[in-house]
Amino acid sequence: MPNGGILLGKRSYQGSFLNKKWFVVLVAILIALLLFFIATGKAENKQMSIEEATGEDIGTITKIIFRDGRGMNQPFTLEEAGKIDVFVKKLSSYVVKKEQEHEPSVGWLQAADFYEGKKKLMTITFTDPLTINESYYEIIKGQLQPDEIEQFIQAANPNWKKK
C-alpha cells in the first residue's frame, strides 16, 4: 500500500505540528509565569511610606503607648492630640522598603503601639532595620534617632528616665 506510507507521513506531519503548537503554548505560559514573579517581586521591594507598609491611615491615631526596651521605664500612654500629631508627622517622613529575609534583631531601645480608639493599628520598634508589625523594613529616608524619640517622650512625660 503505497498510499499508506503517504498517509503515515501526513500523520507524522500533523503530530509534529501539534508538538510544536504545544511547545509554543508551554513556552508562552512559562514566560507569563516568569513575568508574573518578576512583577510581584518588584512590588514587594518597592519603597513606601509607613501608611503604605501598614495599610493604616496614621492620621487617625488617637493613642500611642511607648515602651522602653531597656526596662528603665513603665509603658507610657500618650493621648494628647497635639503631641500625637507632632510624632505622627515625624513618622510620615519615613520611606521604607520591606526586607525579604532578615535575622531577628536582639534588643531594642524604644517601641510604640499605635491605636485608633481601642483598635490597635500597628506596632513599630525603632531599630535599624525598622520593625513594623513584626516585619523588617530597611529605612530609605527619614530616621528618628533614639535620642530624638527619648526627648519627645520625656517632653510628654517628665517621669520618663533617660539612658
14 and 75 within one domain: no
* Domain assignment of residue 40, given as a range: 1-44
Task: State percent of the chain over pLDDT 90.
Answer: 33
Q: Are residues 69 and 106 in the same domain?
A: yes
Number of domains comprising the chain: 2
The pLDDT-based confidence of 145 (bands split at 50, 70, 90) is confident
Is 32 found in the same domain as 77? no
58 shares its domain with 36: no
Q: Is 16 exposed, middle or buried (0-12, 13-18, 19+ CB in 10 A)?
A: exposed
119 dihedral zone (left: phi>0; alpha: psi -120 to 50; beta)? beta
- Same domain for 33 and 74, yes or no, is no
| CATH code of the domain covering residue 77 | 2.60.40
Task: Tell me, yes or no, whether 38 and 54 share the same domain.
Answer: no
> Within this chain, do residues 5 and 39 fall inside the same structural domain, yes or no?
yes
Residues 85 and 14 in one domain: no
Q: What is the pLDDT of residues 10-35, one digit of tens each?
A: 555 556 656 777 788 888 888 888 87
The residues, ordered by sequence, that sit 6+ positions from 48 with a Cβ below 8 Å of its Cβ are: 95, 96, 97, 98
The answer to whether residue 161 scores a pLDDT higher than 80 is yes
The more confident residue out of 38 and 109 is: 109
Residues 30 and 97 in one domain: no
Residue 163 lies in a domain: no
| Residue 81 forms part of a structural domain | yes
50 has a pLDDT exceeding 70 = yes
74-126 pLDDT, tens per residue? Answer: 999 999 999 999 999 988 888 999 887 767 667 788 999 999 999 999 999 98
Q: Is residue 8 part of a domain?
A: yes
Per-chain mean pLDDT for the chain: 82
Does some domain include residue 161? Answer: no
Do residues 70 and 109 lie in contact, with contact meaning Cβ atoms separated by under 8 Å? Answer: yes
The sign of the dihedral angle between the CA atoms of 38, 39, 44, 45 is positive
> Is 132 found in the same domain as 93?
yes
Q: Which residue has the higher pLDDT, 61 or 127?
A: 61
Any idea how long the chain is?
A: 163
139 lies in the same domain as 86: yes
Please report whether residue 12 resides in a domain: yes
Residues 135 and 61 in one domain: yes
User: What is the pLDDT, as a whole number, of residue 6?
Assistant: 47
Residue 162 counted as domain residue: no
